[in-house]
Amino acid sequence: MLEAYVKKILSSEVYDIAIETPLEAAPFLSSRLNADISFKREDMQPIHSFKIRGAYNRMVKLSERERKRGVLAASAGNHAQGVALAASRLGIQATIVMGLNTPAIKVAAVRRLGAEVILRGETYSDAEQHAHSLVDRSGATIVPPYDDPAVIAGQGTVGVEILNQFEGDPDAIFVPVGGGGLVAGIAAYVKYLKPQVKVIGVEASGSDCLNQALIAGRRVRLRADGMDLFADGASVAQVGKRPFQIALRHVDQMIVVTTDEICAAIKDVFDDARTIAEPAGALSVAGLKRYVKDKPGSNKKYVAVISGSNVNFDRLRHISERAEFGECREALLGVSIPEKPGSFRRLCRVLGKRAITEFNYRFNDQQTAQVFLGIQVGDLEERKNVVDMLTKRGYVVDDMTDNEMAKLHVRHMVGGAASAAFGEVLYRFEFPERPGALRTFLTEVGVDWNISLFHYRNHGAAWGRVLVGFTAVNRDRRALRKYLDRIGYRYWEESANSAYRMFLV
């Protein structure tokens, strides 16, 4: 199987439109991790993503009759740009179906390249289904984003370049995974020529379709309502059939990383390359860091594929906030201090010269004050040491660094007791973010129940996040949960969350 793919890869016609991207050293990250790390800069392609390779290689092989009928594609954004650019060069009419949560920068880029854009569905899978429904009416040819031999071969040229550009052989190549076309193409070529080089796929937690498939030994489909769309360019519910067949035998390992780890990786890429990778584009670096952390002092040679840089500018606020957590460089603590003069000064004296990133005070009662505290730390060990030190000094400390509600909402709120909110119950919601989404949410939620607390921040992420308090006495709470289940939003009850108890009650 590999030999057939290698022949297709070596005969791919990608360089009519794509460029051979550089393999650049990452000195800062290399020094920190005690390893020799290089970035494969696919963000430097004409569409700022590797996707142009596979799209063009598939479309250049269309017959004249197929070209006249046009092409259709479903995409989370980058494949759409690849198809649109290829179509403009080849004189083909292109129609692209994209999810409603696709970053605006990607939608605008596709339209600028001359393709018709149809926005449909919450996920890539929804867009894909609609694209296939249009084929019968239009007669156009579907250009798959990953599950196609010519597309896989086009993406495989990234592997050819890495082996040609690297002095000697890398110990491992880290590849971001969505539908699997890129990792399949790279694995097919690299494992055929250099079987000792590890190919390691990296996915985002909540959209790890290949990881789940390899665990199960078969392709599985992730539930759309449970998928995390932060790394929107790699949020795919089911890995492609052909990529899975290759990965099953030739991908050495899968690593699943968190949103915070991805944000930290975006910062790492910026520090070394002075480019802002999109979340999916930095997946490989996040996976590499996790891999090296588990194998410290290895001093090995690694390559991370920076697969794209199509990110909305307004997402950077959210990314920068979460990057410090991903690198364990900030701790969020809830600290109880005596409600008396001099308490703040004593707490600051105990903390010493540590940099304070956040200091929020909420009056609790006549004896106790609650402080929401952000502190710069060097790593996870220092964070634990700070908590231990404060506890030994007599403070009651709650480490909220991994508390999602605290990070998303409480640190940005002005709270305090609400004596009139009798029977308050707290829920955290997520819904696909797009214009009008908050209004729709309010229309659904705010009809039959009294809202006692509400917090929403639009930070450019794929998901809108809302914290809502309802006044519902015990007999009404079961009815409230049934109502919330019926309207279909993802939600978590947070009434017992310590951040709520300390700062909002």
**Is the model's pLDDT at 296 over the cut of 80?**
no
Give residue-wise pLDDT tens across range 341-360.
677 778 878 888 777 777 77
Q: Which residues pair with 464 in a beta bridge?
A: 431
Instruction: Give residue 21's pLDDT.
Output: 98
Specify the range with the lowest mean pLDDT, choosing from 26-30, 116-120, 156-160, 475-479: 475-479
Which residue's structure tokens are 């030190």? 389
- CA distances to 205, 216, 253, 333, 487 from 268, rounded to whole Å, are 19, 33, 23, 25, 40
Q: Are residues 160 and 271 in the same domain?
A: yes
Rounded mean pLDDT, 126-148: 88
Count of other CB atoms within 10 angstroms of residue 249: 10
The yes-or-no verdict on residue 8 having pLDDT over 70 is yes
Residue 411 has pLDDT above 70, yes or no: yes
Same domain, 291 and 348: no
215 CB contacts (<8 Å, ≥6 apart)? none
Match 């790492």 to its residue by tokens.
Answer: 268
Number of domains in the chain: 4
Candidates 235, 307, 309, 452; catalytic one? 307
Residues 239 and 178 both lie in one domain: yes
Q: Worst-scoring range by mean pLDDT, 11-20, 129-138, 363-372, 480-489?
A: 363-372
Tokens of 329: 């460089």
- In whole angstroms, give the CA distance from residue 20 to residue 71: 26
Distance CA 383, CA 441 (A): 37
Structure-token match 């009416």, residue found: 137
210 vs 461: which has the higher pLDDT: 210
Is 417 found in the same domain as 286?
no
Average pLDDT, the chain: 87
Candidates 51, 198, 289, 407; catalytic one? 51
Residue of 15 and 342 predicted with greater confidence: 15
CATH of the domain at 321: 3.40.50.1100
The SS3 assignment for 97 reads strand
Structural element, H or E, at residue 136? helix 124-138
DSSP notation for 42-54? GGGSTTSBTHHHH
Q: Looking at the predicted structure, is the pLDDT value of residue 63 above 80?
A: yes
H/E stretch holding 79: helix 78-90
pLDDT band at 290 (very low <50, low <70, confident <90, very high): very high
Let me know: does 12 contact 156? Beta carbons within 8 Å.
yes
Residue 483 near residue 449 (C-beta atoms within 8 A): yes
* Residue where a domain stops, chosen among 370, 402, 434: 402
Which carries the bigger pLDDT value, residue 209 or residue 293?
Answer: 209
Return the amino acid letter for 63. S
For residue 436, what pLDDT band results from cuts at 50, 70 and 90?
low
Alpha-carbon torsion, ordered 497, 499, 500, 505, to 10 deg: 130
Based on the domain organization, do 317 and 173 belong to the same domain?
Answer: yes
Q: Is 307 a catalytic residue?
A: yes
365 has a pLDDT exceeding 70: no
More confident residue, 449 or 459: 449
Q: What percent of the chain has pLDDT over 90?
A: 51
Contact present, 402 and 334 (Cβ < 8 Å): no
- Angle of CA points 170, 175, 176, to nearest 5°: 160
- Rounded to 10 deg, the angle between the 343-351 and 380-392 helix axes is 140
The domain boundary, picked from 142, 162, 182, lies at 142
pLDDT at 414: 53
Q: What is the mean pLDDT of residues 21-25?
A: 98
Output the domain CATH number for residue 375. 3.30.70.260
Mark whether 51 is an active-site residue. yes
pLDDT for position 468: 84
271, pLDDT greater than 90: yes
**Cα-flanking dihedrals φ and ψ of residue 328, to 5°?**
55, 40
Q: What is the DSSP letter of 308?
A: B
Last residue within a domain, chosen from 142, 160, 187? 142
Q: Structural domain of residue 456, as residue ranges?
A: 410-503
Quickly state the pLDDT bin for 407 (edges 50, 70, 90): confident
Residues 125 and 173 occupy one common structural domain? no
Cα gap 144→160, rounded to integer Å: 22
